Structure 1
Amino acid sequence: MTSLTFHGGVGEIGGNKILLEDGGKRIWLDFGMSFKQSVLYFDEFLQPKKYNGVIDFLEMGLLPGVTDMAGFYRQDYLAHADMPTSPDAAYDGVFLSHAHADHANYIHFLRSDIPIYASEVTKRILASLEDTSSSGFNEFLNFKETFTLRPKKTGEGMMKPKSEETKVARDFRALAPGEQVVVGDLTVEAMAVNHSIPGALGFLVHTPQGVITYTGDIRFHGYGGALTRDFVKRAAEAQPIALICEGTRLDETDSFTEQDVQERVAKVVRKTKNLVIANYPWKDIERLRSFYEVAKMTGRKLALSLKQAYLLKRLEGTDAGAPSLGDGNIVIYIDRKTWGLINKPHYPQNIVEQDYSAWEREFLSYPNRVTCDDIHRHQSDFIVRIDFFDLTDLINIRPDDGSCYIRSITEPFDEEGEIELERVENWLKHFGLYPYEQVHASV
């Protein structure tokens, strides 16, 4: 008998952790972070303790308290918390729809021998997040075994090994759209869908009782909207016995499309004399494409953040639809960090590099890199992305009169978001960028 158990994603935005069981086989549809549950207990400066492993998350209901945790969660975390461990995995796989945190983040806590199925693009996005994130819970493709010791080279005593010495690769399996995976009597069929992050999949799970359709997060108004329509058509043909559907905006009838976003942004940019500053989700490749197309048609260059540059490099050779880093309308904005030496040429290169993480350093020598000084001197040449955490860069860029700010992210949906927006508006008012333009299509 096929059964479904929802450990998240019901009555909330995201947090999907859906267990599907049939004939002794057990698979998960997504394993994401519940923002709704997390903010009840934790904040930026009140975080779960790493030494507790899964304990804090189980205590506060953030992770499922399944009966066979020994065969589900990371063995290093369980052992350090004096919890039972097991040599064998108790579950047969996680089918991951896409790389947003509310669907993927808690993969970090799973043992390495449980297969993770996702698209190649999702795999590369997670690799990018793993390399660039400063979070302590971001080990998606590889995890580094913690709480282990090794003998010193002298043979006298023990020491903590370097993190690279304890790296364990997950059983991560890239799926092509249309590919099918057989798990016992279950056959999971993957199909590409359109979402605000590339590489998204929906799944048709063929069970002995019939088909269960899982949409993941979908939309119709993006450049790849035809993918979602094809998925819906295929799902209808399968005559599912159950439909698990994302319903964040089921009550909305707004037909504002990604093409509409591009056209409205172009209208704003054309009438802007000096610098165009924008904030849009850094992993949203379709939104990046919209701003890139506007930059091309208005004779500007789109300045990407270092994280965006690293992501685009990771996505090279895929069907993600991202522009090339070598494109003439793309530049890489190298922001100042730590000592702020990037625009001080009298410092040796090796000293400048120490301001940056290892993954950032290769971009310091790219011919199309720019600094705050370059943008300040040539404001009419650029569209630069500045998000909430980079607002202090405005002090160095110093936008001239006749500049504008385009906010291309969703409206706040809670009190914390409203407080953050108020703080953003204070910055914009200080630099003469208020009122700003709000140009966004829902996820």
Structure 2
Amino acid sequence: MVNIRFYGGVNEIGGNKIIIGDENNSLLFDFGMSFSIAHKYFSEFLQPRKCNGILDFVEFGLLPNINGLYRKDYLEHVGLTYPERPAVDAVFITHAHADHSSFIHHLREDIPVYATKASKAILEALDVTSGAGFTEFIWLKEAFSLMQKKDGTGYKRLQGSAAKKERNIKILEGKKIGIGDFEIEAVPVNHSLPGAVAYIIHTPDGDIVYTGDFRFHGYGGELTRKFVNKASDIQPKALLCEGTRIKEFLDKSEEDVKREVSWVISKTKGLVIVDFPVRDIDRMNTFYEAAKNNDRKLVINLRQAYLLKLLEETDVNAPRLDDENIRVYIPRKNWGTITCKDRYPEYIIEQDYENWEKEFLHHKNAVTCDDIKNSMHEYVFRCDFFELKNLIDIKPKEGSAYIRSVCEPFDEEMEIDLKKVENWLDHFNLLPYYQIHASGHAPGDEIMSTITNINPDMVFPIHTEHPYLFYKMLHHRTSVVLPELEKKYNI
């Protein structure tokens, strides 16, 4: 009998970890971090220890205690057994947000991970550009092992290419994937980063639909409508539906955002400074178009530049790095030599930057703080919380503006960070600022119409803090099951 178990995403937004299986096969859908648990126990400078393998994560319920799921080096280092057989046959990722994919780092490398080409590109960008932490999404770097020194006099820690193993990432290409008695079908949806999909799982006991995260108002909103139509045609046994914004019934579209930011840019004489999610390509396109229509260049950071380079190998609609309306900001780092080219040779300047950053230092569209300072009216400059220090170098002049295009704070830590942002803006005379944002999630009325159109036998509300609202609004027409962690649900 086919069953579903939830190991995350229950009574919270994100942290999705769902196993669907029978007596012969098991499939894991998403393997994300629970932000609510992570923020409860950890912070920027209080992090789980790598030396303790998976144990710090398991201690607080961030990782489920499932035998056969985790990488060999982490288990054996803390005296745990590494089973010969994996706990699941495959992992299917809906999209590359951390609350759906972050714990790929901990997976054993012989478990295949299915993702879209765009999701793989995002995960690769994170893998390469993240300075530290648990971000081995594409390449697993074997830890806690030794290698013999070349001169044979002893041993040293295994590192570099010798420690690197490529994970078994399989690209979703629009075909059904057969695993045992299951057939898995990935269906594109629109979300606030490229490459998002929902899944239709065909099983001997009936079809299961898992929405992942979705919205209708982005530039790819038609993808979500096609998914709903496809899911409604099969009349599934079970629908696993996200409900991030189940309580909200007003929505702002990406077109609304474009119109509003275009207006702000058009009336601003100085520098336009903006903050939008680093991997939200729809939002990048919005600011790109708004900047271009107002004869300005959009300035992105190095991590975004690296991601765009990878996305050029996909079908994602994103600006190209060589576009005349794109600029790549090269910040002052370490010695700050990038603005002292008359004093330092090129090889010294390059030492201020990571290997992956160096290729952009000589890009034809590279700019520095001096370029922006001297021509503020020509640029829309992306600057997030961690990049505010760049304003010290640029010194925005009177008549500049700041657009905040990210979500409102929803916890105490985010409120503290926003207050710090406001202090910086006040210091540089950028108050009041403009809050212009549209969510990556569908509002409550669209969630309800989605469920009504798909018409499943039973609904499991996930990725929501308000699952009871699903029951309140739907129990008269379909069975609403409020999931509990690790409980088995037969379909």
Which of 322, 345, 348 is the aligned partner of 2:345?
Answer: 348
Indicate the structure whose relative CO is greater, using CA pairs within 8 Å and at least 6 residues apart: 2
Superposition deviation, residue 158 in structure 1 = 1.4
Q: Secondary structure at the match of 1:194?
A: coil
1:283 and 2:274 equivalent?
no
1:88 aligns with: 85
2:460 aligns with: none
Kept after mapping to 2: 8 A contact 1:120/1:175: yes
Q: What is the percentage of aligned positions where both structures have the same residue?
A: 53
One-letter amino acid of the counterpart of residue 300, structure 1? R
2:358 aligns with: 361
After superposition, give the CA deviation of every residue in 1:226-257 in whole Å (9 maximum; x if it has no partner): 00010011111111111111100122222311
2:463 aligns with: none
Cα distance in 2 for residues equivalent to 1:152 and 1:425: 53
1:100 aligns with: 97
1:309 aligns with: 305
1:17 and 2:17 equivalent?
yes
Q: Secondary structure at the match of 2:85?
A: coil
Superposition deviation, residue 159 in structure 1 = 1.2
Residue correspondence of structure 1 range 160-309 to structure 2 within 5 A: 160-176=157-173, 178-309=174-305
Normalising to structure 1: TM-score of the pair? Answer: 0.98
1:428 and 2:425 equivalent?
yes
Cα distance in 1 for residues equivalent to 2:140 and 2:110: 12
1:55 aligns with: 55
After superposition, give the CA deviation of every residue in 1:368-418 in whole Å (9 maximum; x if it has no partner): 111001101100000000000011111110000000000000000011111
One-letter amino acid of the counterpart of residue 332, structure 2? R
Kept after mapping to 1: 8 A contact 2:143/2:158: no
Superposition deviation, residue 109 in structure 1 = 0.3
Kept after mapping to 1: 8 A contact 2:322/2:364: no
1:416 and 2:424 equivalent?
no
Structure 2: runs of 5+ lacking an equivalent:
441-491
Structure 1: runs of 5+ lacking an equivalent:
none
Which of 113, 117, 120 is the aligned partner of 1:120?
Answer: 117
Cα distance in 1 for residues equivalent to 2:87 and 2:364: 51
After superposition, give the CA deviation of every residue in 1:317-374 in whole Å (9 maximum; x if it has no partner): 3121111111110011111111111111121111111110000000000111110011
Cα distance in 1 for residues equivalent to 2:22 and 2:132: 35
1:32 and 2:28 equivalent?
no
Q: Secondary structure at the match of 1:222?
A: coil
1:64 aligns with: 64
Cα distance in 2 for residues equivalent to 1:154 and 1:380: 60
Cα distance in 2 for residues equivalent to 1:332 and 1:59: 42
2:386 aligns with: 389
**RMSD, matched Cα:** 0.9
1:133 aligns with: 130
Runs of 4+ in 1 over 6 A off after TM superposition: none
After superposition, give the CA deviation of every residue in 1:111-156 in whole Å (9 maximum; x if it has no partner): 0010100101101110010000123200001111000011122222
One-letter amino acid of the counterpart of residue 63, structure 1? L
1:370 and 2:363 equivalent?
no
Kept after mapping to 2: 8 A contact 1:265/1:291: yes
Kept after mapping to 1: 8 A contact 2:92/2:114: yes
One-letter amino acid of the counterpart of residue 116, structure 1? V
